[in-house]
Amino acid sequence: MQTITLKGPLKGEITVPGDKSMTHRAIIFASLVKGKSVIYQPLLGEDCLRTAKIFEKLGVKMTITSEKIVIDSPGYQDFKTPRQCLYTGNSGTTTRLLAGLFGGMGLRSVLSGDASIAKRPMNRILQPLQKMNINMSGVDENYTPLIVMPSQVRGIDYQMPVASAQVKSAILLAGLFANEETVIHEIEMSRNHTETMFAHYQIPVETNQLTVTLPPRGIDHIVARDFYVPGDISSAAFLIVAALITPNSDITIHNVGINPTRDGIIEIVQKMGGCLTLTQQTDGPEPTATLRVQYTPHLKGIEIGGSLIPRCIDELPVIALLCTQAASSSIIKDAEELKVKETNRIDTTANELSKLGLKLKPTEDGLIIEPSTVSRLSDLDSHTDHRIGMMLAVASLLTEQSVHIHQFESVNVSFPGFLPMLKQLENEG
């Protein structure tokens, strides 16, 4: 159990850890291509290290330091067949992306994770991958372990039933090895990191509104490239909210990724009237900016739904916390996807914050949130979900009392050093 006592104001300049989604993908692509690649400023959280360790088992050499990962790969053609189960921990990204990749490669393998992963639905990737002629099965056709057997992948023309970057990515990674074109039609724009990373590693991919097209044998185009990982906006979101709700706070966050499929938190804060400014913007496939955030006492309530949801899906627990500090009620809707994350984040967010007296009512697809203050204290629990753990730590800024959070170590999945960084900002204030 972690005891947290934080007092504002928060002041200072910081850099958040590298983007989780892009670190995963950079490790994958650098491992596929023969030769040496360097990934700079990676996120060395538990999830990304799971991905790295799996490729090490396939014969990829990695030198991992806090500043970079140096990858020396024999190339995918010379991967070793793994002689043991490949453990993915509680990383949905590792599990789903590598299922697509290994299915496309025809690499005989078993992917299995922890108890949290064992509850998360895999039929959303199994169904399209099986339609691609991939020989893959799961428990009850929906759960890990996933067993991949050799097969010859075929291209597919697929209508996505849900907006999910992980499902889209699994299909694209499998399609790299197909002799036919792969076409994906999205129902809403989801994160496009796989597509931007394809482009970085010279793999041709075309996006036309909601349709993504990958030509036959995309893998044949891949080249070894170094990659600089931008700061993770999902991690920055917790510090953004912390500064907005803590009197007299003024913080600057450098090198934050502001990919337009991910920047929902910025739009939401601006609609609520929060004091957030962007400077030093870069203009590449993965744009970045410096964010300055200042305490904002009179935030407006807001309705969050539709196409905005995929752009802020991981940040919604801490956005819900932010909405409790608005002057009027807020609604989050169209967010059913939250139910199949590390926890059911709709219910978990409402239940944990209500222990502090904050007023959130879960609905089928989101939350109704009323302006409220911390009126009582109770032991809290991350439920092994890193984003819930960080959200609860930020909530502790609303009271001068100590807050106790069980299973707080889960934050190491995406933001090692989160609490020390908050303490640093507190001390600088």
d(CA 252, CA 235): 14
Contact in structure between 215 and 181 (CB atoms under 8 Å): yes
The position carrying tokens 């809290």 is 380
The position carrying tokens 């009027």 is 328
Q: HSE on the CB side for 251, CA within 13 Å?
A: 32
DSSP assigned state of 286: S
250 belongs to the catalytic site = no
d(CA 220, CA 225): 15
Q: Which of 276, 311, 270 is nearest to 290 (CA)?
A: 276
User: Given 47, 314, 381, 385, which residue is catalytic?
Assistant: 314
The position carrying tokens 């670190």 is 23
DSSP assigned state of 176: T
Q: HSE on the CB side for 399, CA within 13 Å?
A: 21
d(CA 246, CA 10): 7
First to last CA, the chain: 27
Strands, sheet with 330-332, edge to edge from the N-terminal-most edge strand: 303-304, 330-332, 367-370, 359-362
Q: Which of 85, 205, 105, 206 is nearest to 147 (CA)?
A: 85
* Cα dihedral across residues 266, 49, 338, 129: positive or negative: positive
- Bridge partners (DSSP) of residue 369 are 330, 360
d(CA 271, CA 194): 29
- Active site members: 314
